[in-house]
Each structure stands twice: as C-alpha cells, then as structure tokens.
Amino acid sequence: MTSTLENTLNDDLKTAMRASADVAKLAIRAIKTDIMKKRTAKAGVEITDELVQDTIRAYVKMLQGSVDELVGGGAAPDEANIVQMLAEIAFLDRYLPKLADEAQTAAIVQAVLTANAITDPKMAGRAIGLVMKDNKGNVDPGLVAKAVRAALGA
C-alpha cells in the first residue's frame, strides 16, 4: 500500500530525473530507500503519510546533525558536502508540515493544561508529553517546553 505522500515523492523523483536536479534526486532516493527498509523490515507494515513524514524528519535530523558536527569540527560552511546536505534539507522541507509558532504553541499548551487540569509545576514533564503526543510533528519540542514552563511557572 502506498501513501499519498509516497506517490508525490515518486512523481517528484521522475520530474527531478528529467530535469537532472541532483539535489532532489539524492534526497528523494534516500527517503525512498529508508521507506523500503521499513516496508521490508516488518511484513505487512502500512506505509502512511505519517510514516513517510517521520522518515523525512529523521533523515533531515541526521543531515543537520552531520552539518553541525562538521562545522563544529572546523569545516568551512561553504564546503561542497555541507552545501549539499543543507540543500537536501531545504528541498525536503516542502514535504513536512509547518510547525506552530510561539503563539500557536502557547495556545495548544494552554488547552492541554486546561483539559487535563494540570497546574502543578512538578507536572511539567507530563504536560510536555501530552502536548507532544497529540501534536507530533506540528510543534517544536523546545517551544513546547518553554510554553509549559511559562504557563506553570516552572
């Protein structure tokens, strides 16, 4: 079974191949490889848009970690491999949902706190977990933690 997002990736790969768009080809092929690994690792795993987005998110995180490590180790930010990784990250961003901004995150946090009657600063970890569980991929974990601490006075 193929997800809508996976179909989009397939179509975009064909377009990138016709246009000789190397960044797009590399990025999409890496994602398709990871999806295929998931598909074959467990028989009957359903490839959903959420799974594809999680795969893209993980790949982008890995690329960003590599860039940070290279730059932290003294590599020039304009080295070819760093530029390539940053280009892949920028390309793949189009397939990921946009994260909520600070105001939206604060509203989400407040709604979760109210719905679960959380007022104790000692419950901040639980509140963060609830927000992240219900809004996976739509909120920045750092902003969630900041908003929870602000709301609970932690």
Q: What is the CATH number of the domain that holds 145?
A: 1.10.10
**Are 90 and 139 members of one domain?**
no
**Are 16 and 90 members of one domain?**
yes
| Residue ending a domain, choose from 95, 127, 142 | 95
Cα–Cα distance, 132 to 138 (Å, whole number): 9
Residue 90's CB is within 10 A of a number of other CB atoms, namely 12
Q: What is the pTM of this model?
A: 0.74
Q: What is the CATH number of the domain that holds 72?
A: 1.10.1510
User: In the chain, which residues have pLDDT < 50?
Assistant: none
**Are 46 and 85 members of one domain?**
yes
Burial class (CB in 10 A: 0-12, 13-18, 19+), 60: buried
Confidence at residue 41, expressed as pLDDT on a 0 to 100 scale? 83
Range(s) of the domain holding residue 50: 4-95
Q: Let me know: does 68 contact 61? Beta carbons within 8 Å.
A: no
Confidence at residue 148, expressed as pLDDT on a 0 to 100 scale? 92
Confidence at residue 1, expressed as pLDDT on a 0 to 100 scale? 52
Confidence at residue 40, expressed as pLDDT on a 0 to 100 scale? 86
**Are 51 and 80 members of one domain?**
yes
Angle at 39 between CA 63 and CA 60, to 5 degrees: 10
